[in-house]
């Protein structure tokens, strides 16, 4: 009902925007959709043949999007919720209500590790580097391992080209931040050699919202990559890549102007090599080996100022976290007879953590004008540890009679965790009476732990009608406790959270049914799901501002993800992407449906493509985004409910592609036309942008 009231309120402006698009010349051709290839099942196939819920953001969609971050590109995918942590430059992804630390982020199939974070893995990739993004919704742990409870974000980077010398230059302007984004790529392919070199730069100033400028919201990103591969023959390819991402990010809280987080820098470096052999024998169509090294570093300042009566406090928390990764994998594809295709593989990953945390706190008390007491407290923590992960997996696809296909798989994972250094100390100076004390702190613990976790999945597809796939499946997910939860004491956020070496892996079971249809101008993708998750790791209060990690929480989630579009005459395509979802959470003390997950989210509108001639296309899109009211309940003895009102924004895009090969593109968009004041997440510290315009220009040669 709220959505309908918002639509009625904006009916006239939306009608005028729609009329502009519907006045296109009458001889426009229907929009044609190319077949989408995905590798979500670890072997490339058409989307129609994938036995799981997958959404794909294509290279063309990324090319035309002015978004400066990956999170901005993913925000309209059904089942996906963007979490921005109070900063436009720091976006994480939740899938089907599962928090970002239960969503696995991969770049070219290799994960980004985050062993000391309560918020999950950030998307440390520039959109200029990306060919496509595959979003797997629901547990995918059989194929991808730990953290894939809610799903997987697999970012596939751009590789070589089709001509000896090619290139692309892009620049975009974001009106909400008065910021620019530029990139340059040189790439090509010649007689088996493929290469690409890319550089990108982004600088965005403080965000402009309907509530005014969001202090402490600016960010910058710089990135570069290089790729090289060579086809020795049609059956053997060897290649490698290097990529680097650097960012500086500010996060703030509009209700607390004297609080901010400064992450300078947050960077990632990666080097990888691969060997791929195809058609080795009639029973072995593919063998691929990968190895990579990855380093990520996050230096963070958490600044807090507060005052109450005669007392004031200034506190700075400093963190310097380094994650070093080494990984290798071997995957083999086996054709067993005419009806069975087996994917089997082994993966190894080592995550090294080297983390330091320092706290400076100055507390001043003035009981009367003649007296002032200052207390300065310094503390220091240091941690060094690692996690080794070994995994074997196998997935079989069997063709059955009557157009059925059965897929079933298993993964066995072994994780060894070791913390060699966990130490902390504190020094306190008091001015009245003058004194200095030193003490050792409970920094956590050292030691070794070991987990072994099997998971299974099974799905059945029916493709008895052309261009239609019906599917039903069951899948399991798990997440192994990270080093922070097992060994590291954390003191940020107004309390102290102690680790627990006895933590068990989190687990989930999901039942899913779905259908896909792509033909005769109609595209349809619908999925219904039900998930039961257990042994969630939560910080349970055990004293005043004291918490301990325990396996106590559970969740039950059910919903429907729906995407549809229909190509009308004259080049118009009405479409809708919508999610209905309900989530119940039990944290060990109480059960609630107020989990910070909106019941309804989505995007709906009309796209248009008008090919003026063979050298010119005109594109348009008039649409709304919406979300229902969101509530989140938290606390123990005293519970607090945070809420966000429902919201609807109106948006419009207009673009042109022109040139002998349509190698030039200009796209302009106006977002949040009616300057709606809203936030994406409950209890969020920053509002989303108000009305603003973006423009992007790209040139290919």
Q: What is the pLDDT of residue 118?
A: 65
Report which secondary-structure segment, H or E, holds 484. Answer: helix 483-487
Where do the H-state alpha helices sit in 176-223?
A: none
Strands 151-157 and 103-107: parallel
Sign of CA dihedral 686, 688, 692, 696: positive
pLDDT at residue 493, rounded to an integer: 55
Give the pLDDT score at 286: 95
d(CA 136, CA 100): 14
The predicted structure's pLDDT at residue 80: 93
Residue 207, burial from CB neighbour count under 10 angstroms (0-12, 13-18, 19+):
buried
Distance, in Å, from the CA atom of 398 to the CA atom of 405, rounded to the nearest integer, reads 6
Quick one: pLDDT at residue 16? 33
Are 340 and 399 within 8 A, CB to CB?
yes
pLDDT along the chain (701 residues), means of 10: 40 36 31 57 84 92 89 92 83 91 92 78 90 92 90 94 95 95 96 96 94 91 97 96 95 82 94 96 95 95 85 89 95 94 96 93 83 88 95 96 96 96 93 89 91 94 96 95 90 76 94 96 96 90 82 94 94 96 88 91 96 94 95 74 90 96 95 93 80 96 93
Question: Which secondary-structure segment (H or E) carries 141?
Answer: helix 141-144
Predicted pLDDT of residue 12: 34
Beta bridge partners of 508: 477, 533
Report all structural domains of the chain as residue ranges with CATH numbers, in order of start: 2-368+377-700 (2.40.170.20)
C-beta separation of 477 from 148 below 8 A: yes
Q: Is the dihedral of CA 142, 147, 149, 154 positive or negative?
A: negative
Q: Token pair 């309940």 is at which residue?
A: 633
Model pTM? 0.89
Closest CA to 304 of 296, 315, 318: 315
């Amino acid at each position: 009902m709220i959505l309908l009231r918002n639509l009625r309120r904006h009916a006239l402006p939306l009608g005028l925007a729609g009329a502009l698009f519907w006045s296109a010349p009458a001889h426009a051709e229907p929009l044609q959709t190319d077949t989408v290839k995905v590798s979500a099942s670890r072997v490339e196939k058409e989307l129609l043949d994938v036995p799981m819920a997958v959404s794909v953001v294509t290279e063309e969609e990324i090319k035309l999007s002015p978004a400066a971050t990956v999170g901005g590109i993913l925000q309209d995918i059904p089942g996906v919720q963007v979490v921005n942590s109070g900063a436009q430059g720091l976006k994480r992804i939740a899938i089907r209500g599962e928090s970002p630390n239960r969503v696995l982020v991969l770049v070219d199939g290799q994960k980004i590790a985050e062993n000391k974070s309560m918020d999950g893995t950030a998307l440390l990739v520039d959109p200029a580097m990306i060919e496509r993004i595959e979003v797997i919704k629901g547990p995918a742990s059989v194929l991808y391992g730990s953290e894939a409870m809610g799903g997987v974000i697999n970012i596939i980077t751009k590789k070589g080209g089709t001509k000896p010398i090619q290139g692309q230059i892009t620049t975009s302007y974001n009106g909400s931040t008065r910021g620019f984004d530029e990139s340059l790529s040189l790439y090509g392919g010649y007689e088996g050699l493929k290469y690409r070199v890319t550089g990108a730069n982004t600088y965005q100033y403080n965000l402009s919202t309907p509530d005014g400028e969001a202090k402490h919201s600016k960010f910058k990103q710089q990135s570069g990559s290089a790729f090289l591969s060579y086809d020795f023959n049609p059956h053997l390819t060897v290649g490698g890549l290097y990529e680097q991402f650097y960012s500086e990010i500010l996060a703030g809280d509009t209700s607390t102007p004297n609080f901010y987080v400064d992450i300078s820098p947050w960077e990632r470096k990666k080097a990888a090599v691969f060997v791929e052999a195809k058609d080795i024998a009639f029973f072995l169509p593919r063998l691929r080996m990968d190895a990579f090294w990855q380093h990520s570093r996050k230096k963070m300042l958490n600044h807090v100022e507060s005052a109450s009566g005669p007392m004031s406090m200034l506190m700075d928390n400093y963190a310097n976290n380094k994650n070093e990764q080494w990984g290798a994998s071997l995957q083999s594809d086996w054709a067993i007879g005419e009806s069975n295709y087996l994917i089997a593989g082994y993966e190894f990953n080592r995550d090294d953590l080297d983390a330091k945390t320092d706290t400076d706190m100055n507390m001043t008390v003035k009981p009367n004008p003649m007296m002032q007491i200052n207390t300065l407290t310094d503390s220091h923590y240091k941690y060094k540890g690692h996690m080794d992960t070994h995994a074997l997996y196998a997935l079989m696809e069997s063709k059955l009679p009557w157009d059925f296909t059965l897929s079933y798989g298993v993964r066995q994972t072994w994780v060894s965790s070791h913390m060699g250094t966990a130490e902390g100390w504190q020094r306190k100076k008091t001015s009245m009476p003058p004194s200095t004390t030193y003490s050792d702190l409970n920094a956590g613990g050292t030691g070794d732990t070991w987990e072994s976790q099997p998971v299974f999945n099974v799905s059945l597809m029916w493709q008895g009608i052309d261009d239609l796939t019906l599917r039903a499946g069951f899948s399991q997910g798990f997440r192994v406790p990270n080093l922070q939860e097992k060994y590291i004491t954390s003191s940020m956020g107004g309390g102290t959270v102690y680790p627990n070496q006895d933590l068990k892996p989190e687990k989930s079971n999901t039942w899913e049914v779905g259908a896909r249809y792509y033909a005769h101008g109609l595209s349809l993708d619908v999925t219904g799901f039900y998930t039961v998750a257990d042994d969630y790791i939560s910080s349970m209060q055990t004293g005043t501002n004291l918490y301990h990690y325990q396996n106590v929480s559970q969740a039950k989630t059910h919903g429907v993800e729906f995407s549809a579009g229909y190509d009308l005459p004259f080049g118009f395509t009405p479409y809708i992407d919508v999610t209905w979802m309900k989530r119940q959470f039990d944290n060990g003390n109480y059960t609630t449906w107020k989990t910070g997950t909106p019941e309804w989210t989505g995007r709906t509108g009309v796209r248009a493509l008008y090919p003026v001639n063979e050298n010119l296309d005109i594109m348009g899109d008039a649409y709304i985004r919406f979300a229902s009211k969101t509530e989140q309940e938290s606390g123990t003895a005293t519970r607090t409910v945070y809420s966000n009102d429902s919201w609807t924004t109106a948006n419009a895009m207009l673009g042109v592609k022109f040139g002998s090969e349509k190698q030039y593109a200009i796209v302009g968009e106006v977002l949040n036309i009616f300057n709606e004041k809203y936030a994406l997440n409950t209890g969020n510290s920053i509002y989303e942008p108000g009305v603003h315009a973006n423009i992007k220009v790209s040139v290919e040669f």
